[in-house]
Structure 1
Amino acid sequence: MDRRSFLRTGAVGAAATTLAAPAIAQGARTLTMVTSWPRGFAVLDDAATYFNEAVNAMSGGSLTIEKKAPGELVGAFEVFDAVTSGQADMYHSADYYFIGQHPGYAFFTAVPFGATAQELTNWYYHDGGQDLHNELGQIFGLHSMQCGNSGSQSGGWFRNELGSASDLQGLRFRMPGLGGQVLGKLGASVQNIPGGELYQALSSGALDGLEWVGPFADERAGFQEVAKVYYTAGFHEPGSGLSAAMNLDVWESLDDTQRAVIDNAAKATTHYQLSQTLANNGAALARLQQQGVKTLQFSDDIWDAFGAASKEVLDENMGDELYAKIRNSFDASLAKSSDWILKSDGEFVAQRNRVLAG
């Protein structure tokens, strides 16, 4: 029996019979939420904080979330295990950090050449994505929710310009998720380092480059101080969703009103964070350029290499039944959304730019 089959049938069942039910205080509840974001990190910790405060305010005092940054209870990449084990009640993170648990988690953050932020939310709320997120989460004893989106992420920071796809060979680069696997196929030495450690890794020379979020978040992280080449468009995360996931026993112990508060706070966070990011990226990019940052686009040669390797990576897990189910649902929704967006918003933007330029 493979590990995933065991998780579906053995581990979850054993946990249900051997772990004590969560203690439920009378009246008000305090929920411990571990996050993957250092305190004050633009966009990502902003989203976790907004969600935290929204739940506290909307619940009328029946729920209080106690938010913990990496290192305050567990590490940035240990939040998944902390919640599945009951060490914490919930996490706020990017689910593609957990593709080692199941590769299907990638689709709930971002996949190479995948969905924009709007397309991701279309799938999630109206084409079955949320149900699939919870079908996957239940294997691990989780109730999962989208809880933020940072929009399209930049191609990343580099010490030197890339002339062609061959320059990726041996490049020490930070990129998580399936995008990182794509770079690995192209010869890069891919590393997945928590956000709080990225500045030091780039400044020390341990990394030749990295991707993080976009101008607003990247500026606050200070990457412009140690690298001056910035590719503004990336293949790997066209619309990056964040997630809040709760221990399933804890979720089921809440009453209907408390669940509704958490669910709607997560939806509000997704809307708020995306608009926050897009409202600030342009001005942040201008400031970066004023500090000597050179903004570039990848060459067609590099884009073609990204595309070919992405197809390979996306196909590699199709033998897993649940991964295939998630991907097929995602692709079908994306095809529907993109066709209309191209014929409506896409055409409008092209015509607007043409008319205003004239």
Structure 2
Amino acid sequence: MKRREFLKAVGVGLAASNAVAAPAVAQSMPELKWRCTASWPKALDILFSASETISKYVAEATDNKFQIQTFAGGEIVPALQALDAVSSATVDMCHTAAAYYVGKDPTYALYCTIPFGLTSRQQNAWFQDHGGQDMLNEFGRKSNVYAIAGGNTGTQMGGWFRKEINTVADLNGLKMRIGGWAGKTLAKLGAIPQQIAGGDIYPALEKGAIDAAEWVGPYDDERLGFYKIAKYYYYPGWWEGGTAQHFFINWDKWDALPKAYRSLLTIACGYANLDVQARYDARNPHALKRLVANGTLLRPFSQSIMEACLKASNEINAETTASNPDFKKIYDSQMDFRNDENLWWQLAEYAYETFMIRTRPKG
């Protein structure tokens, strides 16, 4: 073969290989630009990272043909109106905690967390392998939203208090920032719950508009500076044994997506679901040490408070299941699942972790 013919043949081969190397999805799919609003400020970097994660991977997998622009709470939609914006197609999707929307229907709490409910691993198992996601999306269809799990904080802390909380009576009249369904439990015990977006909690606590506040746990709480105002840090967060966040997608937009894009978005959300909790688990211990070094006083909720809260929570759930068929269907499924899971946890996870905690090196 002559030199000129050889170079020509090599050039044709390289061009062909480059065409094959381009993502197959990118060669045949439409260009889409979506907007995703979150319920978090960018300062809460772990929660906000979930939206950035899916945006990055979806764009890379489609050679930038499917782009998702991310917005923090308040940039285009108020933090606690993210779900409404998706339902009305003001934005294509959002990342939020569904428990913020219990005022619309208490069933939304069951996407996220309820007092004394499932842990994060139990939630993922219920979502993925016990029909949970299908049940939630059957309910979500009424609001034109499709949901995919997109992160979990794990078991949260019990919050920051200006004074010690020793008895159930100490809750009476307490003005506390607490989101979702747990506020109803505390209200039954005399507290005054207030739902405030994450970025607005510090000034409310600083000005004395509230007496106590809960958010997530040491890493986020340190960043929000609560230890500068309230020194008593209680545990455990019985109202949030595993707090799931979700990506809510406008159902019409979801239906219109090519199947390849749906698969990519589902996979990206799945990675974000894993990544959020991994970051919290990795960063919370060191943040807790720093908080204690700065004068934070750790306190457990007393047994009497825990038992009173459980009783109040059970009463509220019984009242709600009696009047709301959607809540009852999903709640019953979760509680049956939790009871079986706790039997297994007692034998395996709990027994193992109890021994390891007892024998951990001190210091």
When the two structures are superposed, what TM-score results if normalisation uses the length of structure 1? 0.90
- Give the equivalent residue in structure 1 for 2:345: 341
Which whole-Å deviations, capped at 9, do the CAs of 1:307-327 have from their partners, x for residues lacking one?
A: 111111211211221111101
Give the match for residue 137 of structure 1: 140
2-side partners of 1:239 and 1:162: how far apart?
23
Paired AA for residue 256 in structure 1: K
Residue 74 (structure 1) shift: 1.3
User: Which moved further from structure 2: 39-48 or 215-224?
Assistant: 39-48
1:274-295 Cα distance to aligned partner (Å, 9 max, x none): 1110111110000000111101
Larger gyration radius, structure 1 or structure 2: 2
Distance in 2, matches of 1:77 and 1:355, equals: 43
**Does 2:241 align with 1:233?**
no
Matching residue of 2:30: 27
Cα distance, 1:225 vs structure 2: 1.4
Correspondence list, 1:28-67, <5 A: 28-67=31-70
Amino acid at match of 2:259: D
Partner amino acid, structure 2, of 1:284? A
RMSD (Å), alpha carbons = 1.5
Q: Which moved more, 1:261-270 or 1:332-341?
A: 332-341
* Larger CA deviation: 71-80 vs 147-156: 71-80
Taking the aligned partners of 2:360 and 2:160, their CA distance within structure 1 comes to 32
- 1:88 has 2:79 as partner: no
What is the aligned-residue identity percentage? 34
**Cα displacement (A) at 1:115:** 0.6
- Does the residue aligned with 1:273 lie in a helix, a strand or coil? helix
Amino acid at match of 2:63: G
| The one of 253, 256, 260 aligned to 1:257 | 260
Q: Secondary structure at the match of 1:115?
A: coil
Question: How far off its partner does 1:357 sit?
Answer: 7.1
Please tell me the residue identity of whatever aligns with 1:338. N
The offset of 1:354, in angstroms, is 4.3
Which whole-Å CA distance do the structure 2 matches of 1:285 and 1:354 have between them?
A: 19
AA partner of residue 173 (structure 2): G
Would the alpha carbon gap of residues 230 and 356 (structure 1) be closer, same or farther in structure 2, given more than 3 Å must change? Answer: closer
> Which residue in the other structure is 1:116 paired with?
119
Separation in 2, partners of 1:284, 1:354: 22
Residue 200 of structure 1 corresponds to which residue in structure 2?
Answer: 203
**Is residue 329 of structure 2 the alignment partner of residue 325 of structure 1?**
yes
Q: Which amino acid aligns with 2:338?
A: L
- Aligned residue among 265, 270, 273 for 1:267: 270
Cα drift, residue 273 of structure 1? 0.7
SS in 2 for 1:43: helix
1:315 to 315, 318, 324: 318
Report the alpha carbon displacement of residue 235 of structure 1 after superposing the two structures with TM.
0.9
SS of residue in 2 equivalent to 1:338: helix
Alpha-carbon spacing, 1:255–1:166, altered in 2? closer, same or farther (3 Å): same
Q: Is residue 302 from structure 1 mapped to residue 305 from structure 2 by the alignment?
A: yes
Gaps of 5+ in 1: 1-25
- Of the three residues 99, 102, 111, the one matched with 1:99 is 102
Q: Which moved more, 1:340-349 or 1:118-127?
A: 340-349
Aligned to 1:317, the other structure's residue is in SS state helix
Distance 2:76 2:105 in 1: 24
Note if contact 1:172-1:208 (Cα within 8 Å) is conserved in structure 2: yes
5+ residue gaps in structure 2? Answer: 1-28
| Structure 1 pair 315–262 and aligned structure 2 pair: CA distance change class (3 A) | same
- Contact 1:40–1:46 under 8 Å retained in 2: no
CA distance in 2: counterparts of 1:356 and 1:284, whole angstroms: 19
Distance 2:173 2:32 in 1: 50
User: Which residue of the partner structure matches residue 8 of structure 2?
Assistant: none
SS state at 1:32 partner: strand
* Partner residue, 1:224: 227
Write out the 4+ residue segments of structure 1 that deviate beyond 3 Å after TM superposition: 353-358
Question: In structure 1, the residue corresponding to 2:199 is in which secondary structure?
Answer: helix
Question: Whole-Å Cα distance in 2 between the matches of residues 134 and 280 of structure 1?
Answer: 32
Cα pair distance change 1:232/1:354, threshold 3 Å: closer
- Determine if contact 1:133/1:145 at 8 Å carries over to the other structure: no
Aligned residue pairs total: 333
The 8 Å contact of residues 54 and 272 in structure 2, kept in 1 or not, is answered as yes
Q: Secondary structure at the match of 2:149?
A: strand
Is the CA contact (8 Å cut-off) linking 2:36 and 2:51 kept in structure 1? no
The whole-number CA distance in structure 1 between the counterparts of 2:343 and 2:185 is: 26
Structure 2 counterpart of 1:119, one-letter code: Q
Deviations 1:194-225 (A, max 9, x none): 11100100111111001000001111111111
**1:56 shift after superposition:** 2.4
Which among 214, 218, 238 is matched to residue 215 of structure 1? 218
| Shift, 1:58, TM fit | 3.1
Deviation at 1:356, TM superposition (A): 5.2
Paired residue secondary structure (2:118): coil
Which residue in the other structure is 2:164 paired with? 161
Given that residues 33 and 68 in structure 1 are in contact (C-alpha distance below 8 angstroms), is that contact kept between their aligned partners in structure 2?
yes
